Amino acid sequence: MTDDFRQEIRSVLDEVVLPRADQWEQQGHVSADGWRALAESGLLSLPHNGPGFLRSAVFLDELGGTGYAGIRASIGVSAYMAPAYLHMYGTESQRATWLSPGRIAALAITEQNAGTDLSRLSTVAKPDGGTYRLTGEKLYVANGSAADYLIVLARTRDGGTAPVLSGASLLVVDGRSPGITRHRHETLGWRAADACRVSFDDVPAAGVIGKPDRALMYLMPALDFERLVAGLLAVGGVRHCLDLLRSFVRSHQVRGAALSANQAVRHRLADLDAQFELVRTYAYHLANEHCAGRLDTKAAAVLKLTATELAVTAAQVCVQYHGARGYLDDSVPARLHRDAIAGTIAAGASELVRDLIFESGR
Ligand SMILES: Cc1cc2nc3c(=O)[nH]c(=O)nc-3n(C[C@H](O)[C@H](O)[C@H](O)COP(=O)(O)OP(=O)(O)OC[C@H]3O[C@@H](n4cnc5c(N)ncnc54)[C@H](O)[C@@H]3O)c2cc1C
């Protein structure tokens, strides 16, 4: 099943994503017809849980393999990271309303003073006749300008000035609600991810996900899933980078011989490849663990950390062996490098992830 399915995915990505990818990078977002074609292909509604998640794992790996990390982030957030909260904790009616593959989703968690440390959260949602009204500002929200709905973290109980996350809720917000303003960030990489500053001025929420004031309880399992997704996407990204490197060092001539004639070059690539094989095997092992309902915080953190940091190392080597041509702003190695850096910050900075691994160490 998996090989045929992988081939099917590649055909869709070759047809829908690759011909438009550079344009999406330039315009800063995936186009509406791209979203539509992907939704129609069925790839945006693959299973989040159970044995069927293996199909998602292959899709995420292949999506990463396109080599466009901004696009993979945009799709990963919309099809996995944001809707995960509804899959995990939403009601049947919320799922029926929001989880159509044609809808673009965003996850609005981070703020100016609340990134790694979410206890500094300042967005508030005040009760209003059975629902809440939101006021605050979120940053770096992928799909921020196009999102049909947003999953937003906000304080729903007055916790005074104490920096604690208790009394926060996860709210689902209709992207068409009055009072939402969106401004796209100019980012170093992930240019197609549509990362935005999103402000909420007395915006009515469409509903609370799970129980009010209990976001803390819901965040950790959802963030573990987010890191599994980020890890699988990064694995595909590293594969793409290593394929490019291998082909370049075999064809590029310096002093009358291919770069790969140098043992140092071959061994550098072999070392990267060896690390890649370990991370890739671990990623699929974790995908299988998730299928069986056994994803844990440490394992997800290990995958996210190793895959995204390997992506940075591989991209740096890619720029180096391409010489100055890899340093040109519009070159593929330059894009891979600036994109790889975002992977070690988004979905939890590497330092936070290391802390998680240390704290859950045996
Ligand atoms: C391209 C991109 C897309 C993103 N998309 C989204 C999105 O869709 N939705 C969303 O809500 N957020 C998103 N984010 C935000 C992301 O989740 C945060 O950037 C991340 O959680 C870190 O928060 P911060 O940027 O506020 O850094 P801070 O928390 O201010 O930390 C700054 C830096 O300090 C270092 N640091 C942190 N803790 C420690 C420690 N314990 N020890 C040593 N050093 C430490 C790290 O290097 C970290 O990068 C995105 C970020 C990027 C870059």
Question: Per-residue pLDDT tens for 298-310?
Answer: 999 999 999 999 9
Q: Top-level CATH class of 2-98? A: mainly alpha
pLDDT (tens digit per residue) in 305-341:
999 999 999 999 999 999 999 999 999 999 999 999 9
Cβ pair 218, 211 in contact under 8 A: no
Ligand 1: residue of 119, 143, 352 to mutate (most ligand atoms within 8 A of CB) is 352
- Residue 199 C-alpha to ligand 1 middle, in angstroms? 19
Give span(s): CATH 1.20.140.10, the chain: 217-359
Q: What is the pLDDT of residue 163?
A: 62
Can you tell me which atom of ligand 1 is nearest the CA of 110? 11
Over range 6-11, report the average pLDDT.
98
Q: What is the pLDDT of residue 111?
A: 98
pLDDT (tens digit per residue) in 109-161:
999 999 999 999 999 999 998 889 999 999 999 999 999 999 999 999 976 55
Which residues approach ligand 1 with their CB closer than 6 A? Answer: 77, 107-110, 115-117, 140-142, 187, 190, 193, 195, 342, 345-349, 351-352, 355
pLDDT (tens digit per residue) in 28-83:
999 999 999 999 999 999 999 999 999 999 999 999 999 999 999 999 999 999 99
Nearest to 313 by CA among 285, 286, 343: 343
Q: Top-level CATH class of 105-212? A: mainly beta
Q: What is the pLDDT of residue 1?
A: 59
pLDDT (tens digit per residue) in 156-203:
997 655 566 789 999 999 999 999 999 999 999 999 999 999 999 999
Ligand 1: residue of 25, 29, 78, 140 to mutate (most ligand atoms within 8 A of CB) is 140
Query: DSSP letters along 111-153, please?
Result: BTTBSS-GGG---EEEEETTEEEEEEEEEEETTTTT-SEEEEE
Give span(s): CATH 1.10.540.10, the chain: 2-98
Q: What does pLDDT average to over the chain? A: 96
Whose C-alpha lies nearest to ligand 1, atom 33?
A: 349
C-alpha to C-alpha distance for 272 and 261, rounded to whole angstroms: 17
Whose C-alpha lies nearest to ligand 1, atom 35?
A: 351
CATH of domain 217-359: 1.20.140.10
- Residue 340 C-alpha to ligand 1 middle, in angstroms? 14
Cβ pair 237, 227 in contact under 8 A: no
Q: What is the pLDDT of residue 237?
A: 98
Is the pLDDT at 266 greater than 60, yes or no? yes
Is residue 201 helix, strand or coil? strand
Over range 223-248, report the average pLDDT.
98
Can you tell me which atom of ligand 1 is nearest the CA of 348? 21
- Residue 305 C-alpha to ligand 1 middle, in angstroms? 13
Q: What angle do CA 173, 175, 179 make, to 5 degrees?
A: 85
Is the pLDDT at 353 greater than 80, yes or no? yes
